[in-house]
Amino acid sequence: MLKGNKTLVRSILIGVAAIIISVNISKRLSAPKSVAPTKMSFREATVPVKAATWESHQSAVTASGRVKALNRFEVYAEVSGTLLNESFRAGTAFRKGQTLVQIDDREFAAQLKAQKSAFMGLLSQVLPDIAIDFNQEHKAWSDFAAKIEVDKELPALPKIENVKLKAFVSGRSILNQYYSLKSQEVRLSKHRIIAPYDGMLSEVALQPGSLVRVGQRLGLFLQPNAYELEAAVPESDLDKMKIGMNMQLFTENGASIRGQVSRVNNSVDGATQLVKVYLSLKGNNIREGQYYEFKANGRTISQSMKIPRTWLTDRNTLFAVNKSDSTLFELPVKLEAIDDDQIIVTGFEEGEWILQRSVAGAFEGMKVVPQLPKK
């Protein structure tokens, strides 16, 4: 009996031990594996730096603009009708005094002739009364009536110094009819537009034979060989742009022409602080709309530094190196002038270590190894 009890106790102990061992093995298998710590590189970037030194630099006044004809005007219609002249086409040249635009005026001219005929009839009715009551004035008025022709412009009215005669002709509507006819003559003349100078049609808005409406834009007429360029320069450099100053202007492909400062505007643009300058141009093959740029010597900037534009950040700062711990920091600067790919800056102390190239991912506090240029 005792032997059987010992066997039972041993079996129980073995079972409990097996369960404990199984639980421990299961915990070990299910436990997460330990992750090895990430290795980080603290290698410092070697950057070329330059100690800032003050010098005096002369800024360059650079400006650009498009060519415009000095003498140009927009052609507008003041009357309606059909455009008659076949020469009204872009590129057509006209001499001074030639007909630039001819609008059909036959109907209006016929109406004007009818009104002049009626005015002649009115004069024939009052001339006998003038001969009786104002005998001294009769010859002048008779000659005036004889000069009137329906196809020609009305002659000038005789001078009226007699107050009673003035009241008489005014009461008979002579003056009213006369000035009404003069107004109609002016309107008739607007059917024909004359070239004010030698020039050419640069643009046309309609073709010959088209219907012209009152106030319609017909085209652009300009005088060749007389051009100017409008450009804007900083107010601070305005004293360098003297009237009569000569300079060369260049296109993008390198072609050049000669220009001369002809006018300088007296007002400053409040938004840009720029002043408009006008240059008269001389040269062959100049065309309206061409783009030119020019460069002139500007003001002298003392205690400044000239550096590449690529060194400047979009926050108008430069990256510099702190001499005590070799870390980067942003150095605020004042941009004084731009000269192509170079800039002139001021506003910081001489001797600062300025980065000579942009560093990818640069930030304030970044550890670097500064490398000064070899002497």
Residue 242's pLDDT band, with cuts at 50, 70 and 90, is: confident
Q: By C-alpha distance, which of 133, 48, 75, 141 is closest to 353?
A: 48
Residue 302: pLDDT over 70: yes
What is the DSSP-derived secondary structure letter of residue 357?
Answer: S
Q: What phi-psi label fits residue 164: left (phi over 0), alpha (psi between -120 and 50 degrees) or beta?
A: alpha
The pLDDT of 274-301, averaged and rounded, is: 83
Give the residue carrying structure tokens 């020019």. 294
**Measured between alpha carbons, how far is 307 from 310 in angstroms, rounded to an integer?**
8
3-class secondary structure, 172: coil
Q: Is the dihedral of CA 99, 105, 108, 112 positive or negative?
A: positive
Residue 29's pLDDT band, with cuts at 50, 70 and 90, is: low
Q: By C-alpha distance, which of 164, 155, 151, 161 is closest to 123?
A: 155
Fold of 75-104+191-222: OB fold (Dihydrolipoamide Acetyltransferase, E2P) (2.40.50)
Q: At what angle do helices 163-171 and 106-133 cross, to 10 degrees?
A: 130
The reported pLDDT for the residue numbered 115 is 95
**359, two tokens:** 């560093």
**Measured between alpha carbons, how far is 61 from 274 in angstroms, rounded to an integer?**
12
**Measured between alpha carbons, how far is 308 from 304 in angstroms, rounded to an integer?**
13
**Measured between alpha carbons, how far is 57 from 306 in angstroms, rounded to an integer?**
7
Assign domain 62-68+225-298 one CATH number from 2.40.30.170, 3.40.50.880, 3.40.190.80, 3.40.570.10.
Answer: 2.40.30.170
**204, two tokens:** 């046309």
Alpha helix segments (H runs only) across the chain: 2-30, 106-133, 135-147, 163-171, 174-189
Q: At what angle do helices 174-189 and 163-171 cross, to 10 degrees?
A: 70
The reported pLDDT for the residue numbered 283 is 67
- The answer for residues whose C-beta is within 8 angstroms of residue 230's C-beta and 6 or more apart is 65, 66, 68, 276, 277, 278
The reported pLDDT for the residue numbered 16 is 63
For 71-129, how does the pLDDT look when each residue is reduced to its tens digit (9 = 90+)?
999 999 999 999 999 999 999 999 999 999 999 999 999 999 999 999 999 999 999 99
- The answer for residues whose C-beta is within 8 angstroms of residue 333's C-beta and 6 or more apart is 312, 316, 317, 318, 345, 346, 347, 348
| DSSP assignments along 249-276, one per residue | EE-TTS-EEEEEEEEE-S---TTT-EEE
- Predicted model pTM: 0.60
Q: By C-alpha distance, which of 309, 375, 305 is closest to 52?
A: 305
Q: By C-alpha distance, which of 337, 300, 345 is closest to 56?
A: 300
For 11-25, how does the pLDDT look when each residue is reduced to its tens digit (9 = 90+)?
666 766 667 776 666
Q: How many CB atoms lie within 10 A of CB 320?
A: 20
The reported pLDDT for the residue numbered 32 is 52
CA distances from 253 to 10, 63, 250, 286, 293 (A): 105, 17, 8, 14, 11
For 143-156, how does the pLDDT look when each residue is reduced to its tens digit (9 = 90+)?
999 999 999 999 99
**196, two tokens:** 């004010």
**Measured between alpha carbons, how far is 355 from 12 in angstroms, rounded to an integer?**
80
Residues 49 and 353: beta-carbon distance below 8 Å:
yes
**Measured between alpha carbons, how far is 171 from 258 in angstroms, rounded to an integer?**
66
Domain segments of the chain: what residues?
47-59+301-371, 62-68+225-298, 75-104+191-222, 106-189
The pLDDT of 286-295, averaged and rounded, is: 85
Fold of 47-59+301-371: 2.40.420
